[in-house]
A and B are shown apart, each in its own frame.
Chain A
């Protein structure tokens, strides 16, 4: 079974609107970390936001927030007030305590922001 599942290969959003990118994960570890990265067309991988499995509150970083639903094993990224520069590929990743050297990445979601 895949450890990280991103079910949306592509998403479109109108500029200035909010968008949610889905991520579900599979782990039996009690402690794990969830990350989102952005990969623009230039190719670099940019860290956006982190959520720990024991964190009580959803993580936020500027226009990015993480909708963490532990019981459902989902960690969706919410981008508010979308900008044209948000057009990119977005990856969800997980780091587990039993395998903490490694991160497992999803297949990514391509977001296109329309003017």
Chain B
């Protein structure tokens, strides 16, 4: 069974450009999470969805960030316009349900560099 799939794996862009990160969760998983990892702030939860509906976006840094989940098998995280401080590794994760015992499975991450 395929794990969480993310694309692209690496992205280099210039400040001011729009960046779109993509994620395909594990089939059957009802929860999808977007995280950002930096040296300074560690692993931060940005937003998560349940059955394609955003549940908590309190971690989204600012209005430049938006996330959508149009269907159960696809989600995007968009940054517009991008800034150098957005450089980070962005992870998507999914889990079967919301119980405390349920493991979140992570994708390989997208390494974003904004010049």
Contacts and interface: CB of A to CB of B under 8 A. Distances in A.
Nearest to B111: A43
B106 A35 contact: no
B83 to A, nearest CB: 22
A10 B98 CA distance: 32
B99 interface: yes
Nearest to A43: B109
Interface stretch (A15-23, A65-73, A102-110): A102-110
B42 A101 contact: no
A101 B100 contact: no
A97 interface: yes
A64 interface: no
A103 B98 CA distance: 10
Contact of A102 (B45, B91, B105): B45
Which label, helix, strand, loop or mixed, suits the secondary structure of the B interface?
strand
Contacts of B111: 43
Contact of B100 (A31, A44, A107): A31
Interface in A33-74: 33, 35, 37, 43-47, 50, 52-53
Interface string B27-70: 00001010000000011010010100001100000000000000
A28 B43 CA distance: 23
Nearest to B56: A101
Contact of A43 (B56, B89, B99): B89
Contacts of B2: none
Nearest to A53: B100
10 contacts: A44-B106, A45-B93, A52-B100, A95-B100, A96-B100, A101-B50, A102-B45, A103-B33, A103-B104, A107-B42
Interface of B: 31, 33, 42-43, 45, 48, 50, 55-56, 89, 91, 93, 98-109, 111
Interface of A: 31-33, 35, 37, 43-47, 50, 52-53, 91, 95-97, 100-103, 105-108
